[in-house]
Amino acid sequence: MMTPTRISRTTLAFMASASMGAMLMSGGAVANDDVKERIGTHVNHPITGGDYQQTRYSEMDQINRDNVHRLVPAWTFSTGVLRGHEGEPLVVDGIMYVHTPFPNNVYAIDLDTREIVWAYEPSQDSNVIGVMCCDTVYRGLAYGSGKIFLQQADTTLVALDAKSGEEQWSVKNGDPAIGETNTNAPLVAGDKVVTGISGGEFGVRGFAIAYNIEDGSLAWKAYSTGPDDEMLVDPDTTTAMGEPIGANTGLDSWEGDEWTRGGGTTWGWFSYDPDLNLLYYGTGNPGTWNPEQRPGDNKWSMTIMARDLDTGEAKWFYQKTPWDQWDYDGVNENILADIEIDGEMRHVMVNFDRNGFAYTLDRETGELLVAEKYDDTVNWATHVDMETGRPQVVDEYAPGVQGADVNVQGICPAALGYKDQQPASFSKQTGLFYVPTNHICMDYEPYEVSYVAGQPYVGATLSMFPTPDSFGGMGKFIAWDAAKGEVVWEQEEAFAVWAGALTTAGGLAFHGTLEGHFKARDVDTGEELWSFRTPSGIIGNAFTYEHDDKQYVGVLSGIGGWAGIGMAAGLEGDSEGLGAVGAFRGLYDHTRLGGTLTVFALPDFE
């Protein structure tokens, strides 16, 4: 059992706090209620995304469009780790919990003293780094029932006592020897903690898995491909586009046994609707990037899944990219919102997929309501058929149609999508979605590849470049109307906007840039109102909290991730990093490695 490092002075002060002791007592309360209670207060940021709906919206307005120009750094914290820093810290009644990429250290920081209360530094086999696809990132912690949940890269899920950092239990949900790793943030809901698995580029068979939070015992496990019973589907009651999916779809849509290495990994974000008791998440690419080796729809990769939290049973699926030929992983966040469509209030889910289409679905039934391009330069498909839900593919830009060993040129978007995992925000103030996007295209040449456990199972060579005949940059920050399927405004950026957004009742949208700028924009116009240069490129997510009646806004900087893999891993060839190194070579002129948390506030003086 790993023993946390303690800083005695602050630990004593921390443990002497009666309010913290009462708040963190585990016991009778169900974790769902524990988390929900804290979501409703400004002093807390107890869940990645800010709420179960993953809106990344705050009602705080102390910092607003009239005074944001006065924002200054309040304090900083160096993580001591050089790889890419994704996600955001948690804040639970006066304590901030900061995570790092591999080796996945956790630091508990007292917000009164800004001292380290405890540090948990796990010991992991460094060989796991070699089977992590796109940098050693980690997207965040989870809190519930007095515990902090850490999902390590080596697939170990650890429950730590939030007050002391002592390990309560741990379980392994994968095997790095066959390419299984973890980068996702877990989710606590009800009496369960839910997590996923990474490794689609290594032929991993994806799944979501839930554990009971009190003791780490297995609650359920649902695969993305394969037999119905292993996928936790009922062929008669699980639906897609309003119809029962039928028997054996996770087998019959694959050639031979390709489903056993069929990807559909679950390294993205989890959302939850407490009223429906439904868990939502997306599944990734279908194994090898050479589509000739896996003809068929490859169900249920590239799919939004809605499952009963208690049992894991699937209620409905929506497959966004059947027979994926471009590596458009379908794992991006599903934001739950209530919006008016055609004069009727609808309880919806909104998803900005890597494939360049934004989807609005009824989150109870899976009915497809809107599917439109959020970047009009998407060329691999003309549109989505609203009757079938299928994208209408353009053969000229389809590597599976053109065949192996053919370099298909000018596909838009590139494999990293017009948006990757960097999460968008829904403003309850404006009813719009604020989306950090990429603006990058690619050439794609598939080739035959053999499966060897624990070795890359890719089978394609890529090169990436800014979208041709456009403004020359590689990113945009946009406002999106999910009812109409329209861009309201967009602001161009030199590089992909690889950092998660935050909106507030102060009329602001925050996001970072790969060069390291942390920006505040007017939600109505997109005008840049304030910017601060952080120590490294930003791929982390903006967050906000209140302490001693003062609002703070923070972000993790630390270049890396797929976009920054060249710098993070020391790669030099243009086609290395699955094609990203050449596209982002210009970052060397703007930033360097290094993880730092920077927290901002308004100064106490006028």
Peptide bond into 122 cis (omega under 30): no
Cβ–Cβ < 8 Å for 199, 181: yes
CA distance 24 to 480: 39
> Apex CA 173: angle with CA 169 and CA 175, to 5°?
125
Return the active site residues: 327
CA separation (Å) from 532 to 232, 510, 512? 48, 11, 9
- Residue 209 three-state SS: strand
Peptide bond into 436 cis (omega under 30): no
Sign of CA dihedral 510, 513, 517, 521: negative
HSE on the CB side for 290, CA within 13 Å?
Answer: 21
Distance of CA 558 to the CA centre of its chain: 17
Dihedral of CA atoms 560, 561, 564, 565 in degrees, nearest 10, equals: 100
Query: Which ranges of 129-270 does DSSP label H, i.e. alpha helix?
Result: 228-231, 249-252
User: By C-alpha distance, which of 297, 302, 309, 175 is closest to 232?
Assistant: 309
Cβ–Cβ < 8 Å for 122, 156: yes
DSSP classification of residue 22: H
Cβ–Cβ < 8 Å for 592, 118: no
Token couple for 153: 């890269």
User: By C-alpha distance, which of 145, 150, 151 is closest to 163?
Assistant: 145
Sign of CA dihedral 226, 228, 229, 233: positive
Instruction: Report the largest interatomic distance among the alpha carbons of the chain, rounded to a whole angstrom.
Output: 70
Peptide bond into 562 cis (omega under 30): no
- The H or E element spanning position 168 is strand 167-172
Render the burial of 20-37: b for 16+ CB within 10 Å, e for the rest: beebbebeeeebbebbbe
CA distance 14 to 1: 23
| Pairing assessment for the beta strands 57-58 and 502-504 based on DSSP bridges | parallel
- Residue 499 three-state SS: coil
CA distance 328 to 330: 6
CA separation (Å) from 289 to 69, 226, 300, 446? 46, 19, 16, 7
User: By C-alpha distance, which of 542, 424, 435, 504 is closest to 58?
Assistant: 504
Token couple for 260: 């056993």
CA distance 299 to 355: 17
Looking at residue 546, its amino acid is E
User: By C-alpha distance, which of 214, 338, 207, 370 is closest to 273?
Assistant: 338
